[in-house]
Amino acid sequence: MSTRTLSAERAVDLVHDATTAPSVRNARPWRFRCLRGERTFEIRADSERALRHADPDARGLHIGCGAAVLNLRVAAAHAGWRPEARLLPDPRDPTLLVTVHLADPDGGESDLAALYPAVHRRHTGRLPYAGKPIPTSVRSALAYAARREGALLEFPGPGHLGRVPEPIEEAESRDRAGTRRIPGRESADFERAPRLALLSTLRDHPEDWLRAGQAMERVLLLATSEGLVGAPVARALGLNALQTASIAAALPFAFVMLFVCYGLLRGLRMEAQRQTVLEMPPIIQIRGASVPWQQWLKTIVTWPRREEVESFLRETVAPALREVAEEFRQAGLEATVAKDPQEISLTIAQQGAREFLYAVHAKGYSTPAFALPDTSRRRRSVESRRYFRADVRILEGPQHYDVMGYTKEQIIGDVLTQYDKHVRFLIQSG
């Protein structure tokens, strides 16, 4: 019998990895519960984040939760566990979508752990794609990845999907500007023969939707590992695009349509521009945003506990983000603040442009030996030897700096600094 235990910090890190999964309109419609003694995670549907009008049958909710489950399995395998997932384990509790038990490794599914580096690199590509064909070997690998999760991935030919781009544009225009020109900004025409893939299952039940979500994320992670970029389209299921494509390609139930392609050189240049902009100093210094050197020193030489960082998120970060969100709403922008015990996030949606995300996450690290008193190094528990930071994450990934100890004004200043860089990126990229 195994004596390996699941620490609270490891559980938090696994959930953090899981929740980088894509979901319809970034709704993040999931709730995680960890039973550490049983080394089991429960993934439930979060009805408060359900999109009742855009996703009335909850297909998108199940697909998004399935994608999060796949990320959890990948992260667990990377950490040395063997994840065992059960879909809809309790018929009396329809909100309990999946349980994932962390069993001892048996040498299987090493390819699942190999996908871990792509978990934080994967992002939804919204730029036009290049016409470079995907090699047959890569297509076969992507299709095999979908089959591993109980789904089918097909790459229909031009003859099957000749009429699909029009309904795709119609569907996607609900979430972004579509073909509408935006004054003062350049536009790019999307390719008329896009590299499309259709993900389907043999049945149309909630269990199949969960499988489709896991298959979608596995395909996207493998595509990222292969140097591809991708984007789910028409995910508010039941749209004409999916119906047309499903019939044309003779597939049973098509749940997700994917662009899976090599990015344009322009797209790569835009990513380089983005990195350049991130390194720029802000144009305007916000009063209170700069950190006094004494406060900076205190941050360096102290090692906060988890409860201290979570309290900081509740009492300082959350009010700051709510205040900023209200100002954005008054400016006519859609601003959403989401929170759980380990992360507070602000999302700004701008029609026709890349959304802005600013999140602060409580992340655990091992306290260095020099920071532990000699008399307590041996008798302190593993958990007590951990310290936590309030790390900043934006849409492009972790920013590797800690805002623990900032005042509310300083948090607001940091948000505006990141948003200023985001806007400059949008201006430079046209």
Q: pLDDT by residue (tens digit) across 53-74?
A: 888 889 999 999 999 999 999 9
Min mean pLDDT across 6-20, 82-96, 128-142, 375-389 is at: 375-389
Instruction: Answer yes or no: do 300 and 151 share one domain.
Output: no
Longest dimension (CA), the chain: 74
Domain boundary among 243, 263, 283: 263
Instruction: Answer yes or no: do 22 and 88 share one domain.
Output: yes
Q: How many CB atoms lie within 10 A of CB 346?
A: 25
Domain boundary among 263, 280, 306: 263
- Report if residue 65 sits inside a domain: yes
Overall number of domains in the chain: 2
Place of tokens 């001892």: 104
- Report if residue 2 sits inside a domain: no
- Report if residue 129 sits inside a domain: yes
**pLDDT at residue 278 tops 80:** no
As a whole number, the mean pLDDT across the chain is 78
Instruction: Answer yes or no: do 246 and 281 share one domain.
Output: no
Instruction: Answer yes or no: do 298 and 228 share one domain.
Output: no
- Report if residue 325 sits inside a domain: yes
| CB contact at 8 A, 154 and 200 | yes
- Report if residue 146 sits inside a domain: yes
Instruction: Answer yes or no: do 143 and 253 share one domain.
Output: yes
**103 burial class (0-12, 13-18, 19+ CB within 10 angstroms)?**
middle
Q: How far apart are CA 354 and CA 311, in angstroms?
A: 31
Instruction: Answer yes or no: do 276 and 181 share one domain.
Output: no
**Phi, psi for 106 (deg, rounded to 5):** -125, 10
**pLDDT value, residue 270:** 53
User: Smallest Cα–Cα separation from 41: which of 79, 92, 76?
Assistant: 76
Percent of the chain beyond pLDDT 90?
Answer: 41
Average pLDDT, integer, range 409-413: 92
CA 99 from centre of chain: 20
Domain span holding position 87: 8-263
Instruction: Answer yes or no: do 194 and 335 share one domain.
Output: no
Instruction: Answer yes or no: do 241 and 291 share one domain.
Output: no
Strands 82-87 vs 96-103: parallel, antiparallel or unpaired: antiparallel
Domain boundary among 263, 297, 327: 263
**Residue 26's pLDDT band (boundaries 50, 70, 90)?**
confident
**pLDDT value, residue 384:** 58
Q: What is the CATH number of the domain that holds 146?
A: 3.40.109.10
Instruction: Answer yes or no: do 256 and 309 share one domain.
Output: no
Instruction: Answer yes or no: do 299 and 254 share one domain.
Output: no
**pLDDT value, residue 4:** 82
**pLDDT at residue 259 tops 70:** no
| CB contact at 8 A, 265 and 83 | no
| Tokens of residue 126, six digits | 């919204």
**pLDDT value, residue 385:** 66
- Report if residue 3 sits inside a domain: no
**pLDDT at residue 216 tops 90:** yes
**pLDDT value, residue 254:** 52
Report pTM. Answer: 0.61
Percent of the chain beyond pLDDT 70?
Answer: 70
- Report if residue 306 sits inside a domain: yes
Instruction: Answer yes or no: do 213 and 68 share one domain.
Output: yes
What interhelical angle do 240-248 and 165-172 show, nearest 10?
160
Q: How far apart are CA 417 and CA 411, in angstroms?
A: 10
**pLDDT value, residue 333:** 92
CA 29 from centre of chain: 12
| CB contact at 8 A, 183 and 120 | no
Task: Choose the most confident range, by mean pLDDT, from 37-46, 131-140, 150-159.
Answer: 37-46
Instruction: Answer yes or no: do 115 and 238 share one domain.
Output: yes
Average pLDDT, integer, range 28-33: 94
Q: How far apart are CA 155 and CA 161, in angstroms?
A: 10
Say which amino acid occupies 305. R
